[in-house]
Chain A
Amino acid sequence: MNPLLSVRNLSVTFDVRRPGSWPWTPAMKLHAVSEVSFDLQPGECLGIVGESGSGKSTIARAIVGTIPSSGGNIFFEDHDLANMDTRQRRVHRRDVQMIFQDPLAALNPRMTVGEIIAEPLITHEPNTPRKEVKRRVGELMERVGLLPNLINRYPHEFSGGQCQRIGIARALILKPKLIICDEPVSALDVSVQAQVINLLMELQRDMGLSMIFIAHDLSVVKHISDRILVLYLGRVMETAEAHKLTTAPEHPYSQALISSVPIPDPVLERARHRPILEGELPSPLRPPSGCVFRTRCPKVQPDCADAKPALEDVGGRHFVACPYHEAQQVLVVNE
């Protein structure tokens, strides 16, 4: 099966200028994402996890096209989105939609819910009759669990969970093929999180959507994703099937990440061994040589500083970027 989305060596760098520097001094390069590659099959959900600053949102924005990528390719149905001019790109935007972290900030406070949800539709199909637009908006509101008679309300009149449903409805109105969710539940109450996650899973199944789901809550990602990609300092550390990655991760970083998720059982929690990571995320302005994780790795070897470890296939679409990887059974969350 041909992948729907295939990202190859995607890099995103930002120019950073020291405040007060001369205009002609060269800017420092901040490597937010470097040489990330992954495939996404139609109908699949890929979870991306990593600490704050690991480049999760930057990948999402590069795919959606609100941040220019500085290298590599993003093949969406064999069209390279990364190297396309603005005009061509606009045509392809309807197939990739995004859901944001802060549900209220993602809605224009001066527009009614109906106008917000209809905006993608009237942008890409400007000749749709107004009645048809209204009918489709109403249908979709009902589908995401909002009463259609609230169509003339404004975003500030809704709760966080309802706002996120509006965001989901807007993302779905064009029947896209890929939805990118950038921490869609981080700003919501735990009880509301479950409702929104279940809605997303239900919609994904019913509409055959592909999804990229970004979060730092591993239990949420594990629940919704088919595959998980672990990111550290803008580089892929490990990708595997969700169950495999959460039960038997091979990369030392994934192991540390997964064992950091608390288990809601005090006996198990006290009994387990957890490698604790020392220190902070290194600056992406000056990433460590060789393996970027070596400064905090519990299994660090002298030659880790020499070369960047390539992604190694350990079987079953499981890739690890560490030559010293070994499967380690980790107690799993919520099981």
Chain B
Amino acid sequence: MFPNRAAVEGVGDAAQLAEIKGRSLWADARTRFFRNKAAVVSLIMLGLIGAFALFGQFFAQYDKGFVDFSLIGSNANKGVPSIENGHYFGTDSNGRDLYARVVQGTGISLMVGIVGAMVAVIVGTLYGATAGYFGGRIDGAMMRIVDVLMSIPFMFVLILMLVIFGRSIFMLFLGIGLISWLDMARIARGQTLTIKNKEFVEVAVATGVRPIKIILRHIVPNLLGIVIVYATLLVPSMIIFESFISFLGLGVQEPNTSLGALINEGARTMQFGYYWQIAYPLFFFVVTIFAFFFVGDGLRDALDPKDR
């Protein structure tokens, strides 16, 4: 069963044998993921929504800022979704093409979600892994900072910030970046505490690998499974968060828009029968969020086969 030296030499020059490609744990996880139908369908949906946000503008018949004055006052009959006049999704209450607006809103919502998740992955993982790896006082100090930041009611602070410094996408990203990494830091730290007591980390310490290298080479790759799952589940919650801010009228500012802002506008005119003004943004919002949740679920099953 074990090739001893004599057997290896018997085979001939063993170095000449073709190298066998190993199956990494990532490759295994990929196969498991693609066996999950709901996750794959959701991934395709996400791909389509992403393509819609990126390239949808090219199919729009009207510019997103163009106000069709001919429709003002007769939105209920002329602004309905139709293929003929080019307003595929109809127009909003200001006579702007809703299709172009939804494309723009989807893009901004996705960007908010992805930026939030990226900040969480990069800052949160490194912060948590560092705290967990060094332990003791450093850990205590770093995690107490997280506790303090977590105890601040961020919605309130963010609203104040948006009011004081003016509403802008930058402020929104800053606010979302500030809160999104806190939970991730806690998760990463907890995982690090279990990983750092594994023997392969001890081997690395005994060999003389520097702490930074140990964190990056041994701890973070073993954290990544959980981090990725949490990040995919964080994207929709960031989108919801942004939508809530925008729904309050504080988030993205005109002429920019996001799905939350569009839903807000749609909700105001819903009672007058302009159902399409809420239906289309809501459709994209719900589909995006469901797709992210299903993908996250699929990733969790794929990366953590024991936990099912």
Contacts and interface: CB of A to CB of B under 8 A. Distances in A.
Interface of A: 61, 64-66, 89-91, 93-94, 96-98, 100-102, 105-113, 119-120, 123-124, 138, 142-143, 145-154, 156-157, 159, 161-162, 165, 167, 170, 192, 195
Nearest to A108: B200
Pick from B1, B199, B204 the residue with the most CB of A within 10 Å.
Answer: B199
Given A110-B222, A123-B209, A145-B4, A152 B19 contact: yes
Contacts of B3: 145-147
Nearest to A196: B2
B22 A107 contact: no
Contact of B208 (A94, A109, A113): A94
B15 A148 contact: yes
Contacts of B4: 145, 195
B70 interface: no
A23 to B, nearest CB: 11
Contacts, number: 114
Given A105-B200, A161-B2, A112 B209 contact: no
The 5 A-B pairs with the shortest beta carbon distances in the complex, nearest first, are A93-B208, A153-B22, A149-B17, A110-B221, A106-B199
Given A105-B199, A119-B209, A142-B14, 14 more contacts: A96-B206, A97-B206, A98-B206, A100-B199, A112-B24, A123-B208, A142-B8, A145-B3, A146-B3, A149-B17, A149-B19, A151-B19, A153-B20, A153-B23
Interface in B214-232: 217-218, 221-222
A111 B199 CA distance: 14
5 contacts: A108-B218, A113-B22, A123-B213, A142-B15, A145-B4
B2 A195 contact: yes
B207 interface: yes
A97 B205 CA distance: 11
Contact of B5 (A94, A145, A153, A161): A145
Contact of A124 (B24, B206, B208): B208
A112 B1 CA distance: 21
B306 interface: no
Pick from B15, B18, B26 the residue with the most CB of A within 10 Å.
Answer: B15
A102 B199 CA distance: 8
B308 interface: no
B25 interface: yes
Interface in B1-49: 1-5, 8, 11, 14-15, 17-26
